[in-house]
Amino acid sequence: MSYLLTISTSRGNSDLDQSSEIDEKGHQSIDGVGDDDHAGISAAGDLEKQANGLSKATTRDSNTQAIPGVPLMEGGYDEGDEMVTNAGGDGQAMENGSLPGVVGRILSRTTTKSSWNPGPPPDGGLRAWTAVAAGHLVIMNTWGYINSFGVFQTYYTTTLGLPPSTISWIGSIQVFLLFFIGTFTGRLTDAGYFRATFLLGTTFQMVGIFTTSVCTEYWQLFLAQGVCMGIGNGCLFFPALATVSTYFDKKRGLAIGMTACGSATGGLIFPAMARQLLPTAGFGWTIRAIGFVQLVGLGVANAGLRRRIPPRRTGALVEWAAFEELEYTFYAAGSFTCFLGVYFAFYYISSFSRDIINLSYTDSLNLLLILNGIGIIGRLVPNHLADRYGAINVFIPTAIIAGICQLTWIAVASPGGLYAWTVFYGIAAGGIQSLFPAGLSSLTTDLRKSGTRMGMVFTINSFATLTGPPIAGAIISRCGGKYYGAQAFAGGVMLVGGGFMMAAKLARQRRLGGGWRVKV
């Protein structure tokens, strides 16, 4: 019986490779020069000296160490890769660290470094930007579709004859499930089940949208478009976002912003398709056409996304210790209150334009297109500033501006004023949606826990997205069809969210020991 230990280090353009074979008697022969140069040495003596020398060379060169079967993580990690494999016939002994003496210590140290440290995020390169493009497609087919719900809100209210607050539960449950299952999909992603989770989400998404195309009753739409697609969205959105964030450090805000622009892309494509196809092809084929677009987009995204870091197999589903960090807790509270109000306009701007401003159905959809399209600026510019000044520092004024915009909506009474307001709010709302994950990822230093820690806050926010639009709809009904009460509610909660974000900044600032200009 023998064990094979291979340690490789890279120095410039040359490689230092030595292979050592230890037999049952505890002796070693070194292969590397020739058959006549083989010498038997003691495994407990000279082997330890050689291993220490190689360890110093490895530390000095700070490049690659390899054990047969352990992936080097250069091109990304996938759950098909094995963390530790049998190198010489007795893999169980290797895996359990039961090799005798110094060999076990060397193997343990080398295995830990090679399998658990993929190196710093590359902050660029083909693989990283491919992940951004694939993530963009995922967000387009999840959040882009959700941000287009205003089309369905108006259509369902007209065709089903139900109040807006009842219809809004379809969109709210969809967003709720996307956020709520973030804790579970985040932990699955951390554990290395990204691919399985993504394929499961694609299946739910396709079943949901093609089933929606044949629905005729409210309860059918609630189950197909709300519940089924909501589960699919949650299985797709969060793993994609967590994967993209692991490729970037200094450019993380910009990368997440470009990924989040997918919601604007989908928010332009899907309402435009609905506007053109609903009058001619009918509801069923309009939804099927959207479904085929999503099928192609998700197929491409599945090929382009690949996990960079190795899995964290052990660990709790929820990391309760995170809430002991005041900045994390305040950030969760701030994002919760912001998301109570941010989607009110996306759901109700079309209805408002028809009920209060007396615009046509086509013009009301144009407003939704503008609201989604202008969000591209809101997702790129604030996130670019976040890379320079800190995501939370940029989130604070963005939330305050969005809250003020919601309050000024009360005074809008003309088509021109509504178009102008849509532009300003679209930029601010886009900033909130893209800065939220960027700021949350900045509070996580251990990338192996990024999925779990981000998923926890997403789950908390799920209850805000579930209740926010229906609360606003109930306020509209209580006010006799007037929108000012709901507008005041949405603006007020977003201002409160800005206050919680300020508290998160102060807590983070105290932890880092810096002044007001510290990047957080």
| Residues 143/146/150/151 CA torsion (nearest 10 deg) | 100
The secondary structure element, H or E, covering residue 29 is strand 27-31
The answer to whether 485 touches 304, Cβ cutoff 8 Å, is: no
Give 43: exposed, middle or buried? Use CB within 10 Å, 0-12, 13-18, 19+. buried
pLDDT of residue 162: 86
| pLDDT tens profile 202-255 | 999 999 999 999 999 999 999 999 999 999 999 998 888 888 888 888 888 888
Please, is 316 exposed, middle or buried when counting C-beta atoms within 10 Å of its C-beta (0-12, 13-18, 19+)? exposed
Q: Is residue 210 part of a domain?
A: yes
* pLDDT for the residue 443: 83
Write down the pLDDT at residue 288: 96
133 and 274 assigned to the same domain? yes
Q: How far is CA 397 from CA 334, 393, 442, 485, 499, in A?
A: 13, 8, 18, 24, 10
Cα angle: 150, vertex 155, 158; to 5 degrees = 125
In this predicted structure, what is the pLDDT of residue 2? 39
Give the E-state strand segments of 94-217 in sequence order. none
Q: How confident is the model at residue 111, as a pLDDT?
A: 44
**Within-domain flag for 462:** yes
Residues 344 and 380 in one domain: yes
Both 350 and 431 in a single domain?
Answer: yes
Q: Residue 97: is its pLDDT beyond 80?
A: no
Q: Measure the CA–CA gap between 174 and 241, rounded to whole angstroms.
A: 18
Backbone angles phi, psi at 37, to 5 degrees: -100, 10
pLDDT at 117: 63
Burial of 10 (0-12, 13-18, 19+ CB in 10 A): middle
> What is the SS3 assignment for 343?
coil
Residue 356 shares a structural domain with residue 283:
yes
The predicted structure's pLDDT at residue 21: 38
Neighbours of 295 (CB within 10 A): 15
* Residue 112: its H or E element: helix 101-116
Query: Which residues lie closer than 8 Å to 116 by C-beta, 6 or more apart?
Result: 310, 448
Are 235 and 274 found together in one domain?
Answer: yes
Residue pair 371/349 in contact (Cβ under 8 Å)? The answer is: yes
Any domain includes 262: yes
Instruction: CATH number of the domain at 370, please.
Output: 1.20.1250.20
- What whole-number distance in Å separates Cα of residue 212 and Cα of residue 270? 15
Which of 73-87, 306-320, 352-366 is most confident?
352-366
Tell me which amino acid residue 516 is. Answer: W
Strand-pairing partners, residue 19, are: 6, 31
What b/e sequence results for 173-199 when a residue is b if at least 16 CB atoms lie within 10 Å of its CB, and e otherwise? bbbbbbbbbbbbbbbbbbbbbbbebbe
In a domain, 111, yes or no: no
Are 18 and 162 part of one and the same domain? no
For residues 382 and 374, what is the distance between their CA atoms, to the nearest angstrom? 13
pTM over 0.85: no
Using DSSP bridges, classify how beta strands 14-22 and 40-42 pair: parallel, antiparallel or unpaired: unpaired
Residue range 117-141, pLDDT digits in tens: 677 778 888 999 999 999 999 999 9
Inform me whether the pLDDT recorded for 294 exceeds 90. yes
Residue 10: phi and psi, rounded to 5, are -105, 125
Q: Is 70 exceeded by the pLDDT of residue 29?
A: no
**Percent over 70 (pLDDT), the chain:** 76
Specify whether 98 is located in the same domain as 140: no
Q: How far is CA 415 from CA 105, 120, 418, 478, in A?
A: 74, 51, 5, 25
Rounded to whole angstroms, the Cα distance separating 500 from 507 reads 11
Greatest Cα-to-Cα distance within the chain, rounded to the nearest angstrom: 97
Query: Is the same domain home to 191 and 310?
Result: yes
Beta strands in 40-173 (DSSP E): 40-42
Q: Helix (H, G, I), strand (E, B), or coil: what is residue 281?
A: helix
Same domain, 159 and 25: no
Query: Is residue 73 domain-shared with residue 221, that is, in the same domain?
Result: no
Residue 91 sits in the same domain as residue 199: no
Instruction: State the pLDDT at residue 455.
Output: 79
Per mean pLDDT, which range of 176-185, 267-276, 331-340 is the poorest? 176-185
Q: What angle do CA 153, 224, 210 make, to 5 degrees?
A: 100
Say if 121 falls within a structural domain. Answer: no
pLDDT of residue 243: 86
Task: For residue 180, tell me if it sits in a domain.
Answer: yes
Whether residue 59 lies inside any domain: the answer is yes
Host domain of residue 148 = 126-512
Q: Going by C-beta distance under 8 Å and a sequence separation of 6 or more, which residues neighbour residue 74?
A: none
Residue 116, in any domain of the structure:
no
- For 359, residues 6+ apart whose C-beta sits below 8 A from its C-beta are 353, 367, 415, 418
Higher pLDDT, 142 or 450: 142
Please give the pLDDT value at position 145. Answer: 92
Whether 319 shows a pLDDT value over 90: the answer reads no
Domain tally, the chain: 2
Report how far residue 350's alpha carbon sits from residue 352's, in angstroms, rounded to the nearest whole number: 5
408 lies in the same domain as 345: yes
Nearest to 18 by CA among 55, 63, 45: 55
Tens digit of pLDDT for each residue in 417-442?
A: 999 999 999 999 999 988 988 888 78
